Structure 1
């Protein structure tokens, strides 16, 4: 009986595993980096998020408007929704605090409501109340910018893929995959982290989606059911992170992301790598020998034991409790600037930030089967030499 249960569990995961396909080296090389858009002072994506943005404050509203403007102006094919809730907090003196989650969705054209399974890419955008003036660059301004970059990078490839499928008559139900960006409010505790003073936006959204039902003949019963994988980014942007694989049931997805990381390093596309050409050129000892790569996702080879589950409390927990598959991308140990006033733009390691943006983008491209739909033939600026190549 135990063998049968294990086999059934494996078969339940099989469709997701088989749905995943790799992108070529040429595609990885052609994926654009964020460049000046991640400048901490003037960058169009990152700079507007690097400010205090406690839930219910003007800073929070300004950052939310930044997200809305980005999608409306640059990605008009994405459907935007704002999910609103309110709650009193330990510091609100009995007054309700508003929490607003932004949901940006890109589904195949003409897909029926409830028939699309989605990759959910998630980060929280609120910042901590204390210490005063806290920015929260790794926590989680930089992850939000990474998701914006990923969405923008894959957008045209999605359009081309779905147009090609329609032309070939292959846009059947099995190919109905979409991608969703969830920018969640109210992750931080206002006083001391408890089950009720934390995860305000995530708890509200998971509860609402669990009880919102799609039309009867839909492939997915609720919006919650439609999440094939919930990828949560948090505390990313400090140098030298190590990311555990937390869940047995999503270890296969962790391994896929780890494989992409290794390929990006082998192709000398990871700017934080000690073997990136710029790093090698600057070595004072002029020793050009290849150095050991300090992997971000360093647990791809583990198979049994050591899966810590939900011991790190974060926005995934309300979704995990309702059966959603979670890939939690968070360093352990936490970066030294965690919940410290030094968690600002100046203390980001920008090479690491750009590497995460590239890695998350490539993972999204593979999940959405976008090989062949990126324009990799045009000239791109080579970050290493400043020259152009085909």
Structure 2
């Protein structure tokens, strides 16, 4: 993203309409049951989610193709029920000497199995996966390898619960045959998309033309791609209920302002989740990042009067509602070689993964559908038996039902 800002007039804030959407508060038990981000996924040298992204990945290079393959393999092997696709474009850049540079946007979608794509409204969780071309060897760990890995974790964290919810809705006759059916169940046509954008960074210096290559192409394409005639949503742009963009995350003690009054309701939900996760000792970054990242709702609204130029801009210009999760001020490693894995604050990285998964679970209404994880723990001195820690009953061989993470 650029160090460019555009003024929002505070006096106009009361004139903006408020976007409302269904939201399901999560119980303490559900928050505790959400999968715990682990070194297995987030170790900087061997983590299955993060480490493959911690390489230079300038658009059109081998590194970019490797990271794109990482995304494709993850969804194919770990989340096969998600529908994946790419959107391709080319453009010349100030440094390409007239050559066309390829840009590939990747997205994975999970919609209710009974719903047509044109009837679904989605939470779209977004990060850019390209890295800056200079300085040479730049990794961009916060910018934005960590946000990409965080979104992968969030998708995996809710996948099984989402399947259970949709199976339950179908069994109870809440699925419906068309929008508005399903006995008024308002989230019968709610889906989720993970979107990884290419070409966010400028190749020379940030301008409207030298930046946001993938986002500009995709927003234009989705605006001009209509759904079928009888669909409830006009085009692919109108299928986005909320565009949740993560950027510059992974350094300790971030401060995240609320940038848009029309999505302050969503900001408030995330702030509340952060506060609850801290109180329940689910956050790991108490020592490195002890202060709240979001402004606590009880302390009133605090809007940042400046808007940061980032991948949301082409979508915002087309009327999409945006929640921009980006620190202000930027982390000190912004656009320097130190923005690498070694300079990440790993407790903060894992806390972002947990918080984002919790937000996604609340949006999708997964209260009551997140099951306690299974863990192999010998019980009572006899290997091979497992205990439900809630009831103390032996449940099976080789696993322990665990309600506390």
Provide TM-score, normalisation by structure 2: 0.85
**Structure 2 counterpart SS, 1:159:** helix
**Structure 2 counterpart SS, 1:149:** helix
Distance 2:29 2:336 in 1: 40
| Greater Cα shift, 125-134 or 173-182 | 173-182
CA contact (8 A) 1:160 1:373 kept: yes
Hey, what does 1:28 align to over in structure 2? 31
Superposed counterparts of 1:1-390, under 5 Å = 9-10=17-18, 13-14=19-20, 16=21, 19-35=22-38, 36-172=40-176, 173=179, 174=186, 175-274=188-287, 293-298=290-295, 300-301=297-298, 306-308=303-305, 311-376=307-372, 378=374, 389-390=402-403
1:304 to partner: Cα distance: 6.1
**Counterparts in 2 of 1:93 and 1:8: CA distance versus 1, 3 Å:** closer
CA deviations over 1:328-356 (Å, ceiling 9, x no partner):
00000000000000000000000000000
Structure 1: stretches of 5+ with no match in the other structure: 1-5, 280-291, 382-386
1:303 to partner: Cα distance: 5.4
The count of corresponding residues between Structure 1 and Structure 2 is: 359
Distance 1:345 1:211 in 2: 39
**Counterparts in 2 of 1:196 and 1:8: CA distance versus 1, 3 Å:** closer
1:241 to partner: Cα distance: 0.2
1:217 to partner: Cα distance: 1.6
1:27 to partner: Cα distance: 1.0
**Counterparts in 2 of 1:181 and 1:380: CA distance versus 1, 3 Å:** farther
Provide TM-score, normalisation by structure 1: 0.88
Larger fraction in helix = 1
CA deviations over 1:92-116 (Å, ceiling 9, x no partner):
0000000000010000002113000
**Structure 2 counterpart SS, 1:68:** helix
CA contact (8 A) 2:111 2:117 kept: no
**Structure 1 counterpart SS, 2:353:** helix
**Counterparts in 2 of 1:351 and 1:293: CA distance versus 1, 3 Å:** closer
**Counterparts in 2 of 1:29 and 1:215: CA distance versus 1, 3 Å:** same
Structure 2: stretches of 5+ with no match in the other structure: 1-13, 180-185, 378-399
**Structure 1 counterpart SS, 2:310:** coil
**Counterparts in 2 of 1:379 and 1:41: CA distance versus 1, 3 Å:** closer
**Counterparts in 2 of 1:335 and 1:183: CA distance versus 1, 3 Å:** same
1:380 to partner: Cα distance: 8.9
**Structure 2 counterpart SS, 1:67:** helix
